[in-house]
Structure 1
Amino acid sequence: MLKQRSRLKQMLNSPEFSMNSSYANNPKHLACIAIIEDGDFWRAVEESVAISEPFLKVMREVSDGKPAVGSIYELMTRAKESIRTYYIMDESKCKTFLDIVDRKWGDQLHSPLHSAAAFLNPSVQYNPEIKFLVSIKEDFFKVIEKLLPTPDMRRDITNQIFIFTRASGMFGCNLAMEARDTVAPGLWWEQFGDSAPVLQRVAIRILSQVCSTFTFEKNWSTFQQIHSEKRNKIDKEMLNDLAYINYNLRLTRQMRTKPLETDPIQFDDIDMTSEWVEESDNPSPTQWLDRFGSTLDGSDLNTRFHAAIFGANDHLFGL
């Protein structure tokens, strides 16, 4: 609408529009003209676009099927910086909006996994302009303790973290340095992480995750099929496991069909005009489940389903 502002004014003020008796004296028509001519209205529209567009860019990036967990922290940081730039002359309003963003991020969206992924992302770790907050390092260590729960498993992890952060061994070779910003983080670790084998396994496991299943099943039809009323002699836990496996098989198939040189997340020049990815018209067949008859009980499975895949309140690996 903002882009078509001048055309809207031209249309409502055109002779053809004004001379049409069905429009000329219509109260709604007059109200529309008053709104279109109102400078305060357009300033409000501009403000709405300015504060929502950066976060729409983030949503588009994390919803396109790429393993984006290593980039979500940087994307959110850039989005908040754009808000600060827009409100550079209005500190009070800037704080109001950023407090809302931080509250939503902290209460509903953030996981220690995001911090760990940012720490392990080479394009972030080796960026001289980025200094990690203490909270990010604390979250990273929480994830390490969760994925490597025993002292024996963590025996050499401190030395390996040091090797990685200091770009020693294979991490410091020319190929590794050249690929930091051009290769997906998970693939980068697979190729150049041999100097820290334990940390390499952890990094690949974390950085290969997507941030959303939206791309792969926009209307969650797989879940709906598996939990249809025809088949409820399967235990609810098993049904959720089936949904989890189905989504991960779908993700695996899609990743295998893509070239290995998957582009990393692009922080700049994001195309805001690209359409959302459409879901497949041919959902995965689940007829083999029909041998389990009867109807589901009245329990609400939505909460369990959100725990089975990556949802809004998901905590991967129990984090």
Structure 2
Amino acid sequence: MLKRLKLIKRGLQAMVIDDKWTQYKDDDVQKATVVKEIILNDRHEGKELNEESSFYNVVYNILIDPWTKSCTPLHCLAHSLNPRYHCLEWLQGAPNRVPLHKDEEICIERNKCLRRYFSDSKERLMATKEFFRFSRAEDVFGQFECLQNRWDLEPKEWWIMYGSSAPLLQNLALKLLSQPSSSSCCERNWSTYSFILNLCFFILFIR
């Protein structure tokens, strides 16, 4: 988080020292000047991080509500079954991304959904083993073409082409990944929520 805050701070500093900021006339010029002074002031006087902030609480609730609705066991399972999110290309797409097996929240919610979907313990064990082979790229899932096409093919196409060795998982993936709101919104919310929340912390920090 500190790394992200430093990046945001540098961006804000570059913005307020730009000539266009000095020439800004569309709003309250005095406020623009105050904002510049706050951003460039290293003393960060004012509200402490542990103090209550009505502004922060409002923004936090606005962010949390839609995030909670999208962060469900079903969304996390769909996210986990999307082959693209197991690729190096995806991991390198943003600095805050981690492999799915290291994301505690994703793992907890995914396993919760598997328990609900596969009520029979033997069937659930089979599905769990299938997911392990898929996630670890073992057996058929480890073939060169299969790995390469994780990124190149659409998720539904990929599961049709390479998912026959994991029939329980294939059937589940085709159902979930056919939905327009399956895993894309989960990924979008993860990145957006992380960025905006870090920005809110930074705003409170400079007050």
TM-score band, normalised by shorter chain: 0.5 to 0.7
Change (3 A) 1:40 1:94: farther
Q: What is the aligned counterpart of 2:165 among 195, 217, 233? A: 195
Change (3 A) 1:96 1:178: farther
Match of residue 64 from structure 2: 102
Change (3 A) 1:96 1:170: farther
Aligned residue for 1:143, secondary structure, equals helix
Q: Distance in 2 between matches of 1:190 and 1:122?
A: 12
What letter corresponds to residue 154 of structure 1 in structure 2? R
Q: Distance in 2 between matches of 1:98 and 1:122?
A: 32
Q: What is the aligned counterpart of 2:73 among 94, 105, 112? A: 112
Alignment of 1:161-172 (within 5 A): 161-172=131-142
Structure with greater contact order relative to length (CA < 8 Å, sep ≥ 6): 2
Q: What is the aligned counterpart of 2:115 among 145, 149, 172? A: 145
Percentage of matched positions with identical amino acids: 29
CA distances 1:117-173 after superposition (whole Å, capped 9, x unpaired):
111111112334523321211111122122211123224222212111110122122
What letter corresponds to residue 124 of structure 1 in structure 2? Y
Decide which structure has greater helix share.
2
Structure 2 gaps, min length 5 = 1-23, 33-43, 92-96, 188-207
CA distances 1:273-314 after superposition (whole Å, capped 9, x unpaired):
xxxxxxxxxxxxxxxxxxxxxxxxxxxxxxxxxxxxxxxxxx
Change (3 A) 1:40 1:122: farther
**What is the deviation of 1:182?**
2.0
**What is the deviation of 1:98?**
5.5
Change (3 A) 1:170 1:94: farther
TM-score by length of 2: 0.52
Q: Whose Rg is larger?
A: 1
Structure 1 gaps, min length 5 = 1-35, 45-88, 213-263, 268-319
Change (3 A) 1:176 1:99: farther
Number of equivalent positions: 133
TM-score by length of 1: 0.36
Q: Distance in 2 between matches of 1:190 and 1:143?
A: 22
Match of residue 131 from structure 1: 99
Alignment of 1:149-228 (within 5 A): 149-211=119-181
What letter corresponds to residue 38 of structure 1 in structure 2? D
Q: Distance in 1 between matches of 2:25 and 2:110?
A: 53
**What is the deviation of 1:196?**
1.6
What letter corresponds to residue 191 of structure 1 in structure 2? M
What letter corresponds to residue 135 of structure 1 in structure 2? E
Q: Distance in 2 between matches of 1:192 and 1:140?
A: 22
**What is the deviation of 1:209?**
1.1
Match of residue 38 from structure 1: 26
Change (3 A) 1:192 1:40: farther
**What is the deviation of 1:188?**
0.9
What letter corresponds to residue 166 of structure 1 in structure 2? R
CA distances 1:65-113 after superposition (whole Å, capped 9, x unpaired):
xxxxxxxxxxxxxxxxxxxxxxxx9x9988974653133321x443221
Change (3 A) 1:183 1:141: same
**What is the deviation of 1:197?**
1.7
